[in-house]
Structure 1
Amino acid sequence: MYVAVKGGEKAIDAAHDWLAKERRGDRAVAELSLAQIREQMSLAVNRVMAEGSLFDPDLAALAIKQARGDLIEAIFLIRAYRTTLPRLGASRPVDTGAMRCDRRISATFKDAPGGQVLGPTFDYTHRLAGLQTGGRGGRIRGRVPVCGDATDEAVPKPRITDILGRDGLIQDEPPGEAEPPDMTRAPMDYPAGRALRLQALTRGDEGFLLGMAYSTQRGYGRNHPFVGELRIGTVEVEMEVPELGEAVCVGELTLTECETVNQFAGSKIEPAQFTRGYGLVIGQTERKAISMALVDRALRWEELGEEDSGAPAQDAEFVLGHADNIQATGFLEHIKLPHYVDFQSELELVRRMRAEAAREAAE
């Protein structure tokens, strides 16, 4: 007979104590500081901020430490904390065209106006572990040249898609909603407009979106993208102050923006031209931004008058309903919690069915 495990509060308290010991690890090793996590694990911090929908590097570093490096658990902690914060107002849309770029590349135009800035990237490194020897990853020597000056903020860097737009070669973007929906304050509703879809994608799990984006490249969605532009840098965040009658800068935000240029043969309602996919994510999170842009374009099939290929990445309810790692984690992990009564009823049902089958076989 299956019986419930006994222990109750004492067992749970002991589990918490054990967790704290495991989190600290060997006390002969110096404890990680939040500054170390924030400065030396910045990509993990950026992911937690992006999927937690809260820009606070110190808080994200604390969440990573508390979660023992489990980024999904850290994202959960950030989102939970976010719900306790007051809502003071809404900022104006940020101007990514005025971004102070640390990294800005284009896979479509070699001589992009304003120059290309390779910036801090793994793209040109050898994937060999080398930090323990004191060298840079893979012990690469010499400096990788850049096409442009990352410190020269005076050089304008127009968007690549604007260049195509001047010649009418890329679809014009329709004006956005005056007040787009906020999925952090209202539940997801279908059919979801593009503004709501983009919110869900930027909060979605990076691994899930990467898999969806990869599927479109392999033919499940007829998506042939070029990275028109990928830029990472700092933008100013402004808010309207009624008492002053103008907008004031309340801070700066690091963002990663990706615009893809996609082939489009035209349809009954649109001429042959290029179309866009768009990704915008907090922090330096370029894999996520590129994945987001590919999935965004795949989800636009209906508004562009394309045929539904039945690909998973083109199914908005499938993508948006499964992209959130916090919802997925909660639903997945709840099955390890006690289900003794449910299991006992199913156990009795299976025994009864087997007994009935045995009786029928004997008759």
Structure 2
Amino acid sequence: MIDALTRSFTPGNLKDLLRHGVTTAVFSCVIAVVLAISGRGGWVSQLIYSFSIGMISWLVIDIGRLLLAGRSDKPWPLGLPGILLVLTGVVIGFLGGNAIGDAWTGKPMLEFRTFSPDRLVSTLMITLVATIAICYYYYSRGKAKYLQGQIALAERDATDARLKLIETQLEPHMLFNTLANLRVLIATDPPRAVAMLDSLNSYLRVTLSGSRALAHPLAAEFQRLRDYLELMSVRMGARLAYRLDLPEDLREVPVPPLLLQPLVENAIRHGLEPKVGGGEIAVGARREGRNLLIDVCDTGVGIDNTRPPSEDGGFGLAQVRERLATVYGPQSSLDLSAGPAGGTRATITLPLPA
């Protein structure tokens, strides 16, 4: 019983309940003003009757709908239960509100029984129409809110599916590149090929053993990147050096998995490998206002100045941009520029969690 009440009376539902109560009170005051102007009685007495009928009906209907809804996230019970609930609220509100009004004004209890047929019918119709109007208003707002929630849920599921698809494209892309390099080393340098295979085995074990979450801490992304760079170091030897700089206060910031690896792959393939002496890759994170900036810098051959930076890098950069747009929208960006000491700098900008 307690568990059922907890599921029904969540903080969000209680907030809606109170909002409905305030709206009902205001609506009851408006009805009292109209009835007083029309000559049905004094303002105070009409206010007592209208307010009592309205608030009792509100409590019965609003609490009843929450109890009937139970675990369902739909705002109103549909079909016969919903109709019976409104009628029950009207009857209880009409009887209880008139009893309170009669007691306040000193009239005989349930005086409406002595009304003429015309007056009794008009009184009942005012109560019924007002209650149905208020209920329909609440139902419309609740339905709109429910549909917005369903749309948001569908959009989130679509985004999740899109991110999963992009990640499944990125991982084979990295794996195929590594296997191609491994094939060359098997023929030219078997010991290094064995070491590279061991590193690949370790990398895949760490990557595939974890759940394929849509986000993980930035520290996990840097650790995954360190494993990848160790793997590449086996192939490139002294031609590849790297530095990773992650401030302590940014370690737990959530980011999409495999966000940085395509940028490092691009730096190695287009920056360091074409350079005879190789070079260094430096990856660092920093806070700038309410944004997180992640720089991937290399000391390679640099950007091809004959074309815009946004066209350089092919598959990896396009996928990073698509993932940023999917998760963060226009608040994020990926920019390429020439490094301060030569080479290329790729900078990711994304909003920090509130």
TM range (shorter): under 0.3
Q: Looking at both structures, which has the greater relative contact order when contacts are Cα pairs under 8 Å and sequence separation is at least 6?
A: 1
Counting helix residues as a fraction of each chain, which structure ranks higher?
2
Could you state the TM-score of these two structures normalised by the residue count of structure 2? 0.20
* TM-score normalised per structure 1: 0.20
